Chain A
């Protein structure tokens, strides 16, 4: 959410944790959980979603600057925080959308409680460990030079936007906060919960798993295997897309989510 979008941020106090949340649009409820990577560059995607519904997009604590007396520090914390957010806003029939790291949070929410959800959409989601212990399912953001990470995240690296050092002060600070917060939540075990794959059978809403065909962070094979753990889920590739397929193709991905959400 860029500076422009952040003008629309509302602060919601959830049992002592202030969550800065972007709210836009009208219609069916869409809760969108961002990736923390390339933070801000998903603005176009959020606006596309808002064409189709009432979008609620929280900034994860540590990235947003709200006060937090609860010291939110794990994906487990985030999953309960956003379930509480849904309860507090009395949202029903929510289409829950999560990209990359946000997809991990969305999956953790869905295995805990699907009561307020009607659809789950995971975009290049992280969160499960599928391969052998010597195999790295999810590339190490923190052990990868920036240029290489850009190639993993974008099929067309030109869509990766400006180098960090060229960002404006506010955007650079927010990116640095996101980098730190993502490490706080996902450093070890690295970007996954070893128990999540044993729980995905609990997801009881129709689920769409979308994956960049050129995702260099977590491969499409990983995505397919992830989807196979969710009963009845659909798996679809986003063509010519890297790990951040929703940033690379915002209109197409949002439009596919819209058709999935309304096809009941």
Chain B
């Protein structure tokens, strides 16, 4: 099993519950560049420590927000490609439908792959609804644009005999010929993330790595199943290697249960602030299908961020959930190293296997010393046990 350390590089100093929005329209006068400078360097230090401890590294990007200072994952990846030594560098992901130029993405990803000596894990994602406004991106037919961008990126990474022509519905390039070409052949491992079985199946058909975020045991099982269907349909074999799936949860470890829980509760503000978005930017037209938009308007709580079921069938709304709710759902692991290990094993066995565990080990107000202590304890006392128990040769349980 690979375990990735993830942080959104938050700027939590201005997170107050009374702000109607932390995203899109929050004025950047609230962002002190000197404070942001400290934070960037701090988060890089934490990723470097994670690298030394044997973690892999995950990052993503968001825009116009105090919840995430990584406005360009590619820029941070370029730094990490240079300053880390062993970690796989997972971006999950690059919002390919919010970018004007997919060829530029192929170039940047190839650069990072080469600088890092072949450590890039390349995630392509649709992006969350409130990323539409900062990108001024067309919210209709996004998945059509997504797959066309994907096609040109993969072709750009795998074409080595000179320029090719691409005149698609959305993207036009007459002379595509990227330098450098990627280190990893034929291209870096491709990931995508989803919360719906239909998309999980589509990712499976292509044999890519499927990331799922904080869906808990019940939803993740469904995604597993759909992925496996697609994987078999794609002709990759009947048994799905566990490295084809990744799962993101929050995690905090400490010497005492109480301290571990306190830390996890701070990280969980990541989820609780997700609903703090000015209304019009939450549901861009066309981002959701008409049917999905209809169901949302007819639901008892149209402003809900995301509601999950616990294994016992109790609904939990993530933007208002308690830490115990998160632990029960399998979207937070918290406590002493032994407790965290047990919780993770129970989750992984519950979903039928996992090759990539993505852990938000820093979030919200969790400070540098706390983060260092938490990931060090995990790295020394949990990570070796997980790697011994879940070996890469494992397959999904049917």
A180-B133 in contact (CB<8A):
no
A183-B294 in contact (CB<8A):
no
Asked if A239 CB lies within 8 Å of chain B CBs, one says: no
B136, B139, B297: the one within 8 Å of A183 (CB): B139
Q: For A69, what are the chain B residues with a Cβ–Cβ distance below 8 Å?
A: none
A143, A144, A145, A180: the one within 8 Å of B286 (CB): A180
B140-A187 in contact (CB<8A):
yes
Q: For A169, what are the chain B residues with a Cβ–Cβ distance below 8 Å?
A: 294
B285, B294, B302: the one within 8 Å of A142 (CB): B285
| C-alpha spacing A183/B302, complex, angstroms | 21
B133-A143 in contact (CB<8A):
yes
Interface of chain A, main secondary structure: helix
A165-B138 in contact (CB<8A):
no
Q: For B281, what are the chain A residues with a Cβ–Cβ distance below 8 Å?
A: 143
Asked if B290 CB lies within 8 Å of chain A CBs, one says: yes
B138-A179 in contact (CB<8A):
no
Scoring A residues 140 to 184 as 1 if CB is less than 8 Å from chain B, else 0, what string do you get?
A: 001111000000000000000000110001001100110110111
Q: For B138, what are the chain A residues with a Cβ–Cβ distance below 8 Å?
A: 183-184, 187-188
Asked if B280 CB lies within 8 Å of chain A CBs, one says: yes
User: Assuming A143-B280, A165-B302, A172-B297, is B140 touching A183 (CB within 8 A)?
Assistant: yes
B294-A172 in contact (CB<8A):
yes
Asked if B114 CB lies within 8 Å of chain A CBs, one says: no
User: Assuming A142-B285, A183-B140, A187-B140, is B280 touching A165 (CB within 8 A)?
Assistant: no
Asked if B189 CB lies within 8 Å of chain A CBs, one says: no
Asked if B392 CB lies within 8 Å of chain A CBs, one says: no
Q: For A165, what are the chain B residues with a Cβ–Cβ distance below 8 Å?
A: 297-298, 302
A184-B141 in contact (CB<8A):
yes
| C-alpha spacing A257/B301, complex, angstroms | 44
Asked if B279 CB lies within 8 Å of chain A CBs, one says: yes
User: Assuming A142-B284, A143-B280, A182-B285, is B139 touching A187 (CB within 8 A)?
Assistant: yes
Q: For B141, what are the chain A residues with a Cβ–Cβ distance below 8 Å?
A: 73, 184
| C-alpha spacing A172/B285, complex, angstroms | 14
Asked if B293 CB lies within 8 Å of chain A CBs, one says: yes
Who on chain B is nearest to A179 by CB? B285
A144, A183, A184: the one within 8 Å of B280 (CB): A144
Q: For A143, what are the chain B residues with a Cβ–Cβ distance below 8 Å?
A: 133, 280-281
Who on chain A is nearest to B144 by CB? A71
B280-A145 in contact (CB<8A):
yes
| C-alpha spacing A128/B156, complex, angstroms | 38
Interface residues of B in 263-308 (CB under 8 A from A): 278-281, 284-286, 290, 293-294, 297-298, 302
Q: For A183, what are the chain B residues with a Cβ–Cβ distance below 8 Å?
A: 138-140, 284-286
What count of chain B residues pass the 8 Å CB interface test? 19
B140-A177 in contact (CB<8A):
no
Who on chain A is nearest to B290 by CB? A176
| C-alpha spacing A186/B290, complex, angstroms | 18
Scoring A residues 182 to 225 as 1 if CB is less than 8 Å from chain B, else 0, what string do you get?
A: 11100110000000000000000000000000000000000000
A176-B293 in contact (CB<8A):
yes
Q: For A142, what are the chain B residues with a Cβ–Cβ distance below 8 Å?
A: 280, 284-285
CB distance from B285 to the nearest CB of A (A): 4
| C-alpha spacing A21/B240, complex, angstroms | 51
Interface residues of B in 117-153 (CB under 8 A from A): 133, 136, 138-141
B280, B290, B297: the one within 8 Å of A177 (CB): B290
B290-A184 in contact (CB<8A):
no
Q: For B279, what are the chain A residues with a Cβ–Cβ distance below 8 Å?
A: 145
Q: For A187, what are the chain B residues with a Cβ–Cβ distance below 8 Å?
A: 138-140
Q: For A145, what are the chain B residues with a Cβ–Cβ distance below 8 Å?
A: 278-280
| C-alpha spacing A179/B286, complex, angstroms | 8
A184-B286 in contact (CB<8A):
yes
Q: For B136, what are the chain A residues with a Cβ–Cβ distance below 8 Å?
A: 188
CB distance from A21 to the nearest CB of B (A): 21
| C-alpha spacing A212/B284, complex, angstroms | 28
B297-A164 in contact (CB<8A):
yes
CB distance from A106 to the nearest CB of B (A): 23
| C-alpha spacing A164/B302, complex, angstroms | 12
CB distance from B120 to the nearest CB of A (A): 31
| C-alpha spacing A176/B302, complex, angstroms | 15
A184-B297 in contact (CB<8A):
no
CB distance from A40 to the nearest CB of B (A): 15
Scoring B residues 207 to 251 as 1 if CB is less than 8 Å from chain A, else 0, what string do you get?
A: 000000000000000000000000000000000000000000000
Q: For B139, what are the chain A residues with a Cβ–Cβ distance below 8 Å?
A: 183, 187
Who on chain A is nearest to B291 by CB? A173
| C-alpha spacing A176/B293, complex, angstroms | 7
27 cross-chain CB contacts under 8 A: A142-B280, A142-B285, A143-B280, A143-B281, A144-B280, A145-B280, A165-B297, A165-B298, A165-B302, A172-B297, A172-B298, A176-B293, A179-B285, A180-B140, A180-B285, A180-B286, A180-B290, A180-B293, A182-B285, A183-B138, A183-B140, A183-B284, A183-B286, A184-B138, A184-B141, A187-B138, A188-B138
Q: Which 9 A-B pairs have the closest CB atoms?
A: A183-B285, A184-B140, A180-B286, A179-B285, A180-B285, A176-B290, A176-B293, A187-B138, A143-B280
* Chain A residues proximal to chain B, CB less than 8 Å: 73, 142-145, 164-165, 169, 172-173, 176-177, 179-180, 182-184, 187-188
